[in-house]
Structure 1
Amino acid sequence: MCRSIKTLRPPMTPEVDDEDIRAAALQYVRKVSGFRAPAAHNRTAFEQAVDAVAEATRQLLGELEVRGRGPSRPASTPS
């Protein structure tokens, strides 16, 4: 686990926005790929992975139930 990825679920982090989700997704993809910044020929795959992880994170956070609170609210989506 990347130590720099913070917990995003309530009540650990009461308000989570797209920037928080994107940052966590980026850190995860960096760790898994071993690239801090991918070369041009890997950039598309890298960015697609970040987008997929961010979307999976939004879905997860939206569906988690915190005891005594019911389902979490879905995080905002990019405009």
Structure 2
Amino acid sequence: MCRSIKTLREPYTHDVGPSDVQAAALQYVRKISGFRQPASHNAEAFQAAVQEVAQATERLLDSLQVRGSAAS
């Protein structure tokens, strides 16, 4: 769906930081909302969605177990 969103889990990407997660969340919300930059009356809802998606992404990445990785 969002071709510019990169895979953020190992072994595809190493050293994923908060800025990577935030960028992916922003791209996702932009795609599904259809807004690159929302109007002022939608800005609060837009930013809340970005934060919620970023938090869900962090939880997902933290809970994934990748077979064959040193962390498993």
Fold equivalence (TM over 0.5)? yes
TM (norm. structure 1) is 0.87
Which residue identity does 1:40 align to in structure 2?
S
Count of matched residue positions in the alignment of Structure 1 and Structure 2: 70
Q: Which runs of 4+ in 1 moved over 6 A?
A: none
Identity %: 63
Query: What is the CA RMSD across the aligned residues, in angstroms?
Result: 0.5
Structure 1 partner of 2:66: 66
Q: CA deviation at 1:21?
A: 0.2
| 1:18 and 2:21 are equivalent in the alignment | no
Look up the equivalent residue of 2:38 and give its one-letter code: P
Q: Which residue of 2 aligns with 1:56?
A: 56
Structure with the largest fraction of helix: 2
Structure with more strand by fraction:
1
Question: How far did residue 68 of structure 1 move?
Answer: 1.8
Unaligned runs of 5+ in 1: 71-79
